[in-house]
C-alpha cells in the first residue's frame, strides 16, 4: 500500500545521527515520484522549520517543536507560522524558563532555543554528563507542571497540551480532511515519538530504536532491524517496499 502521506521524525530518522546523507534526498525524490507528501514532525525549533521549507521545495508543511507549531507556505511560498497552543501558555513558558535558568546557573539552553516559540530545549549531551543535574531539572519542571520529553538530541520542555499526535491529527482535519490517518505512515526513533506510536496504526521504528525499546511505554507497530535500516536508510527501504 502506498501511503497517502508520509509523516516522519527528523533527527535520527531522516538524518543519520545528526548528519544529512544522500538518502534523505532519495526519500524526497521517492515521495515526489509517487505524488506523496512528506511531512516532517520534529522536536526541532520553529527556525528549523523555516530552514526545511526554504531549502527543500518539495516540502509543503513542517510540524515543529514536538507538535507546538505548524509551518506551511503562504500564497507567495514564504513560511507561515501557526502556533498550536494559546498565547498565555507561551507566556508562562517564558516565565518558567527564566526561573529555571536562575535556579540552575550552569544550565544552558540549546543553540536553537532562540528560534523556538512554543517550547525550549537543553542539549541532552550536556545533561548526560551530569546525571544529578538532569534529575534536578526534571524535578523542577514537574513541580512547575511543565511537560518535558527527550528526543535523540534534546530535553524539550513546554507548557500546555502538546504532542506530535495531536498536531498530526489537527493537521489532517484542517488541511487533508479527505485523507484517513489509517492510510498514512509515521517513522520515528525516540522517546518523543511515543504519542505517534501509541495512536498511529501504521507506525514504524527505524533500527536505532532498538537501543531504547526497554524505556518506551508505547512502541511502534513495526520495528526495523539491522544497520541497513538505521535512520534514513530504514525509512527509504521501507517506503520502497510499500510503493512497489
Question: Are residues 92 and 51 located together in one domain of the fold?
Answer: no
Q: How is 32-69 classified by DSSP, letter by letter?
A: HHTT-EEEEE-SS-HHHHHHHHHH-TT--EEEEGGGTE
Domain that residue 42 falls in: 5-85+162-242
Provide the Cα torsion 149, 154, 160, 162; round to 10°: -80
Question: Are residues 19 and 77 located together in one domain of the fold?
Answer: yes
Give the total number of structural domains in the chain. Answer: 2
One digit per residue, the tens of pLDDT, for the chain of length 244 reads: 899 999 999 999 999 988 999 999 999 999 999 999 999 999 999 999 999 999 999 999 999 999 999 999 999 999 999 999 999 999 999 999 999 999 998 888 988 888 999 999 998 888 888 889 999 999 999 999 999 988 777 888 999 999 999 999 999 999 999 999 999 999 999 989 999 999 999 999 999 999 999 999 999 999 999 999 999 999 999 999 999 8
Question: Are residues 52 and 171 located together in one domain of the fold?
Answer: yes
Residue 136 pLDDT: 94
Question: Are residues 108 and 228 located together in one domain of the fold?
Answer: no
Question: Are residues 77 and 187 located together in one domain of the fold?
Answer: yes
Question: Are residues 60 and 123 located together in one domain of the fold?
Answer: no
241 vs 8, 19, 22, 185, CA distance in Å? 17, 24, 19, 13
Question: Are residues 20 and 77 located together in one domain of the fold?
Answer: yes
Residue 20 pLDDT: 94
| Cα dihedral sign, 37-42-46-51 | negative
Domain endpoint, select from 158, 188, 217? 158
Q: Which residues have a Cβ under 8 Å from the Cβ of 223 and sit 6 or more positions away?
A: 204, 205, 207, 209, 210, 213
101 vs 97, 109, 154, 229, CA distance in Å? 6, 9, 16, 39
What is the C-alpha radius of gyration for the chain, rounded to an integer number of angstroms? 17
Question: Are residues 80 and 167 located together in one domain of the fold?
Answer: yes
Question: Are residues 81 and 98 located together in one domain of the fold?
Answer: no
Exposure b/e, 106-126, CB count within 10 A at least 16 = b: ebebbebbebbbbbbbbbbee
Domain endpoint, select from 130, 158, 186? 158
Residue 95 pLDDT: 97
Residue 70 pLDDT: 98
Residue 149 pLDDT: 86
Question: Are residues 9 and 104 located together in one domain of the fold?
Answer: no
- For 37-68, write each residue's pLDDT tens digit: 999 999 999 999 999 999 999 999 999 999 99
Length of the chain: 244
Amino acid at each position: 500500500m502506498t501511503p497517502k502521506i508520509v509523516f516522519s521524525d527528523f533527527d535520527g530518522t531522516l538524518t543519520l545521527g545528526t548528519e544529512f546523507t544522500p538518502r534523505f534526498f532519495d526519500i524526497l525524490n521517492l515521495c515526489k515520484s509517487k505524488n506523496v507528501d512528506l511531512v516532517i514532525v520534529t522536536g526541532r525549533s520553529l527556525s528549523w522549520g523555516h530552514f526545511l521549507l526554504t531549502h527543500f521545495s518539495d516540502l509543503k508543511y513542517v510540524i515543529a517543536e514536538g507538535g507546538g507549531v505548524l509551518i506551511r507556505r503562504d500564497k507567495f511560498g514564504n513560511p507561515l507560522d501557526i502556533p498550536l497552543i494559546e498565547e498565555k501558555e507561551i507566556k508562562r513558558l517564558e516565565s518558567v524558563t527564566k526561573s529555571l535558568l536562575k535556579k540552575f546557573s550552569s544550565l544552558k539552553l540549546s543553540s536553537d532555543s532562540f528560534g523556538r516559540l512554543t517550547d525550549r530545549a537543553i542539549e541532552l549531551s550536556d545533561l548526560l554528563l551530569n546525571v544529578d543535574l538532569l534529575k534536578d531539572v526534571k524535578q523542577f519542571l514537574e513541580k512547575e507542571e511543565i511537560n518535558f520529553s527527550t528526543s535523540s538530541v534534546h530535553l524539550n520542555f513546554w507548557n500546555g497540551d502538546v504532542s506530535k499526535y495531536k498536531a498530526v491529527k489537527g493537521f489532517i482535519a484542517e488541511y487533508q480532511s479527505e485523507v484517513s490517518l489509517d492510510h498514512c505512515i509515521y517513522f520515528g526513533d525516540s522517546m518523543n515519538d511515543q504519542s505517534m506510536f501509541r495512536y498511529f496504526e501504521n507506525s514504524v521504528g527505524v533500527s536505532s530504536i532498538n537501543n531504547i525499546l526497554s524505556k518506551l511505554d508505547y512502541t511502534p507497530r513495526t520495528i526495523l532491524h539491522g544497520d541497513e535500516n538505521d535512520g534514513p536508510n530504514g525509512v527509504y527501504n521501507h517506503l520502497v517496499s510499500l510503493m512497489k
